[in-house]
Amino acid sequence: MNEPGRSKVPPGTRMFAIVGPTGVGKTALSVSIAPSLSAEIISVDSMQVYVGMDIGTSKPTAQQRSAVQFHMLDVVDPGTGFSVARFKELADDAARDVLERGRLPLLVGGSGLYYRAVVDDLDFSCVQAADGTGDRLEDLHEISDTELHQLLRDLDGKAADTILPSNRRRVLKAIEVARSGDRLISERQPSWSDYRSPYELTVVGLETNRRLLYRLIDERVDAMMAAGLADEVARLREQGLRRGTTAGEALGYRQLIDCLDEKSSLDRATAEIKTRTRNFAKRQLTWFRKDPRVKWFEVQAGSSASTNDVNGALAVTAGRVLEYLQHKLEN
């Protein structure tokens, strides 16, 4: 059995990652290049782990899953407690499985906390180094409410049970309090500002102009609603999905639960989903731009570009990313 806090992935392992804001095209691009890299995709998305949460999390389509092997999708029921620490354990298992079959682990997603947990082998049994160079609260302001709450759950489960993920101020305060406790101090926990991975890591970031990104996000929310997101939330609610749980606080699900509880209209809920998703994308960009290891590639399309033009620009970017990653493999 592996020692607590030690990754099951050997140091020096080659690992690729594709990150960036929601809606930019990470999944489509990754699926298009993974076969050429002999890679399998490990999702680093905090909500795609939940069974049945399909439309609202933009899970890969059946066609995409048939083209490339995906890992870390549909691994837990929405009503089950699930921490970033547990995610890391399962993602490490998936990476080892991929490696043992002679394939390359390709991490894809926009959940910054989950990405860092895996690529930097973070240890969530503690929160501060013995020399006092532990994580700083200001480094956590850019991650989502859900990811922040999951970090609190790893540090102080009882506090997490009494504080809603949407109460960001209280969650941050509880994390600060937890970090002050001697029981949470250990000899091994790097700072969030320490970007030294134990692996041979190559990270690609996708970006596009802000106006286009926000338009794509709005269009995706409309597409989700047309595809039956409200019905998906209603079905999950009958199965026990509720506000206050990690899954129940996910973007889209939180707003539509309120709609079902007659606390909001459908139009108002849809508008709020768009606004909060755009804000989340902005936080994602801020988070990943702090990571000096990310090599950024722009999907070059105008803010009024048609769907075909955007897809064409994404295909061009995929070619550039593939060339860059193949060069890394050869050198």
pLDDT of residue 4: 45
Rounded mean pLDDT of 212-236? 97
pLDDT for 67-84, tens place per residue?
Answer: 999 999 999 999 887 888
- State the pLDDT confidence band at 139, using cuts at 50, 70 and 90: low
Residue 170 scores a pLDDT above 90: no
pLDDT for 317-327, tens place per residue?
Answer: 999 999 999 99
pLDDT of residue 66: 97
Rounded mean pLDDT of 116-132? 64
- State the pLDDT confidence band at 132, using cuts at 50, 70 and 90: very low
pLDDT of residue 124: 65
CB atoms within 10 A of CB 81: 14
pLDDT for 262-279, tens place per residue?
Answer: 998 999 999 999 999 999
Which CATH number describes the domain made up of 14-330? 3.40.50.300
pLDDT of residue 1: 39
pLDDT of residue 228: 97
pLDDT-above-70 percentage for the chain:
87
- State the pLDDT confidence band at 143, using cuts at 50, 70 and 90: confident
- State the pLDDT confidence band at 133, using cuts at 50, 70 and 90: very low
Residue 131 scores a pLDDT above 50: no
Residue 191 scores a pLDDT above 60: no
Return the higher-pLDDT residue of 208 and 262: 208
